[in-house]
């Protein structure tokens, strides 16, 4: 029921705040001990490599996931839990979203942007999503170093710091989009040096976007900028805010996107599964299901030309 959903939402928001505060405490102790010896510092900043040298996990990821998982299991013992670090330790042969799509499910990344966290680049966050029938209906994203909390609950809109409704940037899409847009895309973790590989498609996508678009180059025909924050979740949050016009990544896991998708959709943005720039502007845009691994997000469109004219009168 709606009342139940509201309760779950309130619980998720508090959990996100608490978990984000834990991330911040951990970041402080990791980087503030100026009296530590070189060896102590080396130990404190340790991380473990998972699938590759850029796929890393810290003790903080694990501690914060354990904290969140425990809170959810205590409050909602019948719900299913999918977490990045729990999954990394398991030997599940299937994609995590397939585990129990019909059971109410939590999808959690305790620390999205782990590389940023280990370098004290502020683009890291906790990401908590709640799914019904495989679709994210609640999303909580908290970036404690930025002091930004993004929350969304189906039918209730998406919010920044619980007071400002998203999107904040409300101008219409540029007429010649993706010309005039800010595009974001992540490097991901697949760094295989292979022309048909994911990395090359990403680089190509960056170049396609940064270069003149579709022969319509020249004045106004190019994207305004190409960004890579190092956190897929925050990319989606900023697309929901309207700061980014387009975000694309191939190779994401469910926990990288679930909360961000809830926030984006509640803000009125669109999530689909397509490669830019050729496919993004088609009239028929299928909604991406979690688990597609390839995601293209488009920000809330802003007012139509008619509405803008009316507002201006």
**Smallest distance, Å, CB 242 to ligand IPD?**
20
Q: Which is nearer to ligand IPD, 186 or 245 (CB)?
A: 186
The single-letter DSSP state of residue 158 is E
Reading the block at residue 226, the tokens are: 């190409």
Minimum CB–partner distance for residue 114 and ligand IPD (Å): 4
Q: Confirm whether residue 256 is marked as ligand binding.
A: yes
Q: How far is the CB of 186 from ligand IPD (least distance, A)?
A: 3
* Contacting residues toward ligand IPD, per CB under 6 A: 84, 109, 112-114, 186-189, 230-232, 249, 251-252, 256
- Shortest separation between residue 228's beta carbon and ligand IPD, angstroms: 8
Could you tell me the smallest distance in angstroms from the CB atom of residue 219 to ligand IPD? 32
Query: Which residue, chain included where needed, has tokens 């509201």?
Result: 6
Q: Which is nearer to ligand IPD, 180 or 197 (CB)?
A: 197
Give the nearest distance from C-beta 238 to ligand IPD in angstroms.
Answer: 13
9 contact partners, CB below 8 Å, separation of at least 6: 130, 138, 151, 153, 156
> Of 72 and 123, which CB lies nearer to ligand IPD in the complex structure?
123
> For strand 105-112 and strand 80-83, is the pairing parallel, antiparallel, or unpaired?
parallel
What are the start-end ranges of the H helices in the chain? Answer: 2-32, 38-44, 59-75, 84-89, 114-118, 198-210, 232-241, 254-267, 305-312
Residues across the chain: 313
CB-based closest residue to ligand IPD: 186
**Are 185 and 247 spatial neighbours (Cβ–Cβ below 8 Å)?**
yes
Residue 5 labeled ligand binder = no
Q: Given the complex with ligand IPD, which of 154 and 295 has the nearer CB atom?
A: 295
Burial 79-105 (b: 16+ CB within 10 A, else e): bbbbbbbbbbeeeeeeebbeeebeebb
Closer of 170 and 227 to ligand IPD (Cβ): 227
- Taking the least distance from each CB to ligand IPD, the nearer of 179 and 188 is 188
| 63 annotated among ligand-binding-site residues | no
Long-range contacts of 172-177 (CB under 8 A, 24+ apart): 172/301, 172/302, 172/303, 172/304, 172/305, 172/308, 173/245, 173/299, 173/301, 173/302, 174/220, 174/245, 176/216, 176/220, 176/221, 177/245, 177/281
Q: Is 39 annotated as a binding residue?
A: no
Binding-site residue numbers are 84, 109, 111-112, 256
Binding-site residue numbers for Mg(2+) are 84, 109, 111-112, 256
């Amino acid at each position: 029921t709606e009342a139940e959903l509201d309760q779950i939402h309130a619980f998720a928001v508090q959990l996100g705040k608490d978990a984000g505060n834990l991330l911040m405490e951990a970041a402080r102790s990791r980087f503030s001990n100026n009296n530590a010896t070189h060896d102590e510092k080396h130990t404190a900043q340790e991380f473990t490599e998972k699938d590759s040298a850029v796929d890393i996990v810290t003790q903080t990821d694990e501690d914060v996931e354990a904290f969140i998982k425990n809170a959810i299991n205590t409050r909602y013992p019948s719900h299913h839990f999918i977490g990045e670090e729990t999954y990394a330790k398991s030997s599940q042969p299937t994609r995590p979203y397939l585990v129990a799509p019909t059971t109410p499910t939590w999808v959690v990344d305790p620390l999205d942007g782990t590389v940023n966290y280990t370098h004290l680049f502020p683009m890291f966050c906790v990401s908590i999503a709640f799914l019904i029938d495989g679709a994210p209906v609640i999303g909580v994203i908290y970036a404690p170093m930025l002091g930004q909390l993004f929350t969304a609950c189906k039918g209730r809109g998406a919010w920044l710091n619980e007071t400002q409704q998203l999107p904040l940037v409300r101008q219409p899409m540029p007429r010649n989009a993706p010309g005039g847009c800010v595009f974001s895309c992540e490097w991901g973790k697949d760094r295989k040096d292979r022309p048909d590989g994911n990395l090359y498609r990403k680089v190509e996508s960056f170049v396609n976007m940064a270069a003149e678009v579709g022969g319509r180059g020249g004045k106004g025909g190019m994207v305004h900028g190409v960004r890579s924050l190092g956190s897929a979740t925050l990319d989606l949050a900023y697309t929901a805010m309207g700061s980014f016009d387009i975000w694309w990544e191939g190779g994401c896991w469910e926990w990288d996107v679930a909360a961000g998708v809830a926030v984006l959709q509640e803000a009125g943005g669109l999530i689909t599964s397509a490669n830019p720039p050729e496919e993004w502007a088609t009239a028929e845009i299928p909604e991406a299901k979690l688990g597609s691994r390839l995601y293209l997000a488009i920000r809330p469109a802003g007012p139509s030309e008619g509405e803008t004219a009316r507002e201006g009168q």
